Structure 1
């Protein structure tokens, strides 16, 4: 009887612990010219956006969160075009709010940020904080899942 109770407790433990954390992907908008207030992506950035859509091919994604700038929306345009996922805006000045939205999701989320927001977003998701980003730092994709962080390059 004691063995049966122990076996049932082991089976129930994952359910009692709550849902398995979902992956949150974080990327800085892709290549733009320096010094412009709300620029369009450069041709290299457009090509990288198409590569991002290819990277996500076959992967589950239920939300895309972007700040309300042309460059963030253009970064996800090819990805969103091939899916029934609505692109949602967030306030880039409120990192805790976008992190809370991502953590509340029942499935993987992509957040598109900026050089001054991506390190904080990754860290507040429970991942390893990336180094500060310079203007030229385009193409890195961080995935935070269960406190573990992976970094990949998105190349055109």
Structure 2
């Protein structure tokens, strides 16, 4: 083999190695919402109202091109129904993370830890409750948001957790029926 050909091959291998080692990990994007509008059909575990169903469909439309890879919800019907509207458009399953009296204090911290350990670089939707969403934001970013009012169902919180650097937070509204 000619010496310059060996040098070119070595150079290409070196460039390939350098490119492979310089690949930065992808950012993690987390979209958090409170479940959509609830009905009054069950005092313990209500389903979505007709407005809630319309809002869940609007959320699915908003998330249509998000590249969503993972969806979490609590075990309650209203969170599952909100998440299911999105899951169907993405061909995904909704993973339930039950919340109860035993884990209520540590719920947000445990879910945030799971995301950091198993889901970095993904785009994730979390559908939960008005008291849990602000805690999740704090656990994931160290940032605080305003509490979610009992009548507020349309806040969309987007977190970008870069592999390096400070997290970013954007709050917006979606799908007012």
TM-score calculated relative to the size of structure 1: 0.83
C-alpha displacement of 1:116: 1.0
Say which of 131, 139, 143 aligns to 2:146: 131
Q: Is contact 2:130-2:149 (8 Å) kept?
A: yes
Alignment match, 1:121: 136
C-alpha displacement of 1:98: 1.2
Q: Is contact 2:108-2:135 (8 Å) kept?
A: yes
Gap runs ≥5 in structure 2? 1-14, 162-166
Say which of 24, 30, 33 aligns to 1:24: 30
More off after superposition, 93-102 vs 63-72: 93-102
Question: Could you tell me how far apart the structure 1 residues matched to 2:34 and 2:51 are?
Answer: 14
Question: Could you tell me how far apart the structure 1 residues matched to 2:21 and 2:170 are?
Answer: 27
> How many pairs were matched up?
146
Q: Is contact 2:74-2:96 (8 Å) kept?
A: yes
Q: 1:111 to 1:130 in 2, by over 3 A?
A: same
CA RMSD in angstroms, aligned pairs only: 2.4
Gap runs ≥5 in structure 1? 1-7
Question: Could you tell me how far apart the structure 1 residues matched to 2:62 and 2:136 are?
Answer: 21
Describe the SS at the equivalent of 2:141: coil
Q: Is contact 1:62-1:107 (8 Å) kept?
A: yes
C-alpha displacement of 1:14: 5.7
C-alpha displacement of 1:20: 3.1
Alignment match, 1:109: 124
Work out which of the two has the higher radius of gyration on C-alpha atoms and give 1 or 2. Answer: 2
Alignment match, 2:171: 151
Q: Is contact 1:128-1:148 (8 Å) kept?
A: no
Say which of 43, 59, 64 aligns to 1:52: 59
Question: Could you tell me how far apart the structure 2 residues matched to 1:120 and 1:12 are?
Answer: 37
Question: Could you tell me how far apart the structure 2 residues matched to 1:120 and 1:14 are?
Answer: 35
Q: Is contact 2:64-2:90 (8 Å) kept?
A: no
Question: Could you tell me how far apart the structure 2 residues matched to 1:50 and 1:107 are?
Answer: 22
